[in-house]
A = this chain, B = another copy of it.
């Protein structure tokens, strides 16, 4: 099992919309609104790193309103 935390910055004002859309994505366990440098953080769990990469690239980063992502994979 691979776990990753993805820090997200959204286009200004779209963080609520993006939050709602991400919640239902494949492997997403939680989504948090944050104070500070990053707007949201998503917790993703998948069987392998490759599956995490797939969700991040092919689903998460396709969500309209996302400006940048910083994927922090948990080192086993």
Least distance between A50 CB and chain B CB atoms (Å): 5
In the complex, A35→B3 CA distance in Å? 11
A25 at the binding interface (Cβ < 8 Å): no
Given contacts A49-B49, A67-B12, contact A36 B73 (CB under 8 A): yes
Given contacts A3-B32, A16-B57, contact A41 B76 (CB under 8 A): no
Copies of this protein chain in the complex: 8
**What mask results when residues 47 to 72 of chain A are scored 1 for a CB within 8 Å of chain B, else 0?**
00110010001000111001111111
Sample (11) of A-B pairs whose CB atoms are under 8 Å apart: A12-B62, A13-B61, A15-B61, A32-B74, A33-B75, A34-B73, A35-B71, A35-B73, A36-B36, A37-B37, A57-B75
